[in-house]
Amino acid sequence: MSIAVNGINIAVRDLPSATERYERLFDVRGEHVGPDGFAFPGLEGTKLDVGGFIISLIATTQEGTSVARFLERHGEGVFLFSAKVDDLDIATDELKQQGLSPLLDEAVRGDFGAVNFYHPRALNGVQLELIEHA
């Protein structure tokens, strides 16, 4: 299995304010990510490429999303660790052999590629996202 760090996703309440803060801190320009850039509805974000490491700021636009629930329980902070893989199906099978079960029975596929997630309980309190980019 070929797995590499993609970046982290940080849940934020005020996307414009957080974007401005991170752009200034890292001296980079963020790229807005609309709802179509996410596997699930109700999210929007900013993607910042910091020397090849992706910091994604994610805000919820509706109640009930996983990000909304995270913000209610934990407040703002690291929501998930993102890893990129060459082949999501092969990576999923290999992680299953290690005793990790994906949250979704079937990966979500879209213009962004394919993605599946692993529960924070399985990885010391951090949700894992495996993504195969389009």
Domain ranges of the chain: 3-133
pLDDT tens-place string over residues 43-52:
999 999 999 9
Which CATH architecture fits 3-133?
A: Roll (3.10)
Q: What is the largest CA-CA distance in the chain?
A: 43
Q: Measured between alpha carbons, how far is 122 from 50 in angstroms, rounded to an integer? A: 28
| Regions of the chain where pLDDT drops below 50 | none
Q: Are 86 and 60 in contact (CB under 8 A)?
A: no
- Which pLDDT does position 112 carry in this prediction? 84
**What pLDDT shows up at residue 110?**
86
Q: What is the pLDDT of residue 111?
A: 83
